[in-house]
Chain A
């Protein structure tokens, strides 16, 4: 299994690079220059590596935000919206509690963003558990609502007066996360998703709760016969997952932007789902998967700037890589 992955993953990666090379050549761009710029942009310097870790932080959290509910059979496609609402609450909590010392403010602010994710999940999880309504559509629709809501807040009530851009005023410095390197954006918050990944892995695989959650995800019927309290387990997994996506938004605000904007990096919630798929819904495997995705997204920006390749290419590339890898894995699984 492990050995197979060592073969399948590079193969999928190279195959996707080859397919995208065709698209690049059509656009008149040398694929080698383009791919080289992805690499230098993501790992080529200390700054590049720090940018990759900065991008990995929300990706790993949204991946876990998808994974934990998924293991209980609940499709949380709402990571994107939960992240934005998390960013909102982090900003508001920072305004309210900013007067306290940093050691107190930051936990409160991050807890606020976690709470925001939970709040944004209440309607979908209620509809799923109490009314039996598919959560997929409710969580997706709420993403569109959340992003528009943040657009509204940052153009009107929360907009900083006099600022030409639609963004809120900067949050108090006491709520800023400490930077690790003086000249880079990397902040101490980047260890939080890694801790979360390990914790969720341990909960899933070493506790009764995790055993029950996995039982529900495998067969809801069997879990029912075994007397597991299904609804309660689904609610807890969904709500904690959503909280982690909210936390991703909180870390973006306290660690990177320091103000609320609707122009947070887009689609982190959706890329998180692809990370979870690539990591086979195992939080530990999602650590390298999110690092890889972060490198592609950061490198993609460099590729746009220095090789003139439109950013959409990265969407195509990561979708194709995921596509090819899961296809080969599924085929290998069936052969056995």
Chain B
């Protein structure tokens, strides 16, 4: 194994980490507030599509990022309304969001096919061979951690996820804050999707999210709902994606389908060894209704 392989692997590990980390940060807020959002896989697809579309039409990657966030925020209002305001089971709402998000991205991609085919040049490297996305992701993770653990807002979010009734009697608008947390999570899935199209590939492909949304939820559980540890857990899965991709490029004597499975095997092993110790927020998946 030569040095080139190792440096290349390290670099692509960080690149592959970004979509997972963005999505995981958002999901941490959502789950900390008591809402399990299983639809981020589809939401990321929508974000990846709208991010690229907007960037192609305006010529600005930054506008692309913003539109990706806004589109996913809007998409997640569906899920938030269904799970918080109406109180439908969150697993079912999440699966619906998944299908809806995938569908919107497929439909959009075919509708604007000729423009989308052109693609765009992704963000260029600015520091240590990495583009802005990984720095943005790590900075957001740290800021999120500060908000969650050092501010009143963070305390309130954690309170409504642990004991919504007590939080309500302390004057916190439980469902309103849950709604906001889910929408923030949604906006982050927009960044996560755009990290794929605008930060890595420059093109959109149907099914390109390839389980990253689900992996992000697993990252949330592994990192015990903590944005700081989510950085490490995301890098672990970024490594799994990068290792597979690098080994395919170098022509490893293993069929490439198995290399593409690496992240999923990592996920299964992580679930097996670490999930039992995880303790989710007490009111996760429990709709809150005032009596």
Q: Which residues of A contact B (CB under 8 A)?
A: 23, 27, 75, 77, 123, 127, 131-134, 136-138, 140-142, 144-145, 148-149, 151-152, 155-156, 267, 270-271, 273-274, 277, 310-320, 322-323, 326-327, 330-331, 334
A residues less than 8 Å from B87 (CB atoms): 330, 334
Q: B38 touches which one: A23, A136, A310 (CB < 8 A)?
A: A136
B86 adjacent to A313 (CB under 8 Å)? no
Q: In whole angstroms, what is the CA distance A328 to B111 when docked?
A: 31
A-B contact pairs, 12 of them (CB 8 A): A131-B272, A131-B276, A151-B257, A152-B255, A274-B96, A311-B107, A312-B108, A313-B103, A315-B99, A326-B88, A330-B86, A334-B87
A138 adjacent to B257 (CB under 8 Å)? no
B106 adjacent to A311 (CB under 8 Å)? yes
Q: In whole angstroms, what is the CA distance A123 to B264 when docked?
A: 14
Q: Which residues of B contact A (CB under 8 A)?
A: 38, 78, 81-82, 86-88, 91-92, 95-96, 98-100, 102-111, 210-211, 214, 217-218, 255, 257-258, 260-261, 264-265, 267-268, 271-272, 275-276
A156 adjacent to B88 (CB under 8 Å)? no
**Nearest-CB distance from B276 to chain A (Å)?**
6
Instruction: Tell me the nearest residue of chain B to A23, going by C-beta.
Output: B107
Tally the A-B contacts, defined by beta carbons under 8 Å: 122
Instruction: Tell me the nearest residue of chain A to B102, going by C-beta.
Output: A315
A313 adjacent to B107 (CB under 8 Å)? yes
Q: A144-B211, A144-B264, A145-B264 are in contact. Are A316 and B104 (CB under 8 A)?
A: yes
Instruction: Tell me the nearest residue of chain A to B265, going by C-beta.
Output: A145
A148 adjacent to B261 (CB under 8 Å)? yes
**Nearest-CB distance from B269 to chain A (Å)?**
11
Q: A274-B99, A330-B86 are in contact. Are A156 and B255 (CB under 8 A)?
A: yes
Q: A270 touches which one: B98, B111, B210, B218 (CB < 8 A)?
A: B98
B residues less than 8 Å from A273 (CB atoms): 92, 95
**Nearest-CB distance from B163 to chain A (Å)?**
20
A315 adjacent to B276 (CB under 8 Å)? no
Q: In whole angstroms, what is the CA distance A322 to B272 when docked?
A: 34
**Nearest-CB distance from A147 to chain B (Å)?**
10
Q: A132-B276, A141-B268, A144-B211 are in contact. Are A315 and B106 (CB under 8 A)?
A: yes
